[in-house]
Amino acid sequence: MSLTDILSPSDIAAALRDCQAPDSFSPKKFFQISGMSKKSSSQLKEIFRILDNDQSGFIEEDELKYFLQRFECGARVLTTSETKTFLAAADHDGDGKIGAEGINLFKYR
């Protein structure tokens, strides 16, 4: 399964265009534009599984900086500031990584 099986390619493209400039990435806005905020918990868990590059069950900071590239290989890398802000917003237990339940936080923000 790929992200385009769950999300519209045009919505993904629009979300990526919106955050092309460094330090312009907003997780909430990206989730809204890409359509992720409208997905069910089970669909978000599948998206999480796809984004979890090493299949550890968590998205760690080093994986998170490549978040946009999981949607399109030519997309930019998140800045250190964007990565830390994203991680802080989704890391609900403070362990320095995002579990599958953390990605659901953006559905409601």
Domain ranges, ordered by start, for the chain: 7-106
C-alpha closest to that of 84 among 29, 36, 16, 25? 25
pLDDT of residue 81: 96
**Architecture label for domain 7-106:** Orthogonal Bundle (1.10)
Is position 62 annotated in a ligand binding site? no
Is position 107 annotated in a ligand binding site? no
pLDDT of residue 105: 62
**Hey, how many other C-beta atoms are within 10 angstroms of the C-beta on 90?**
20
pLDDT of residue 38: 92
Is position 63 annotated in a ligand binding site? yes
Is position 11 annotated in a ligand binding site? no
pLDDT of residue 92: 80
pLDDT of residue 16: 98
Is position 23 annotated in a ligand binding site? no
C-alpha closest to that of 61 among 12, 32, 98, 24? 98
Low-confidence spans in the chain with pLDDT less than 70: 102-109
Is position 97 annotated in a ligand binding site? yes
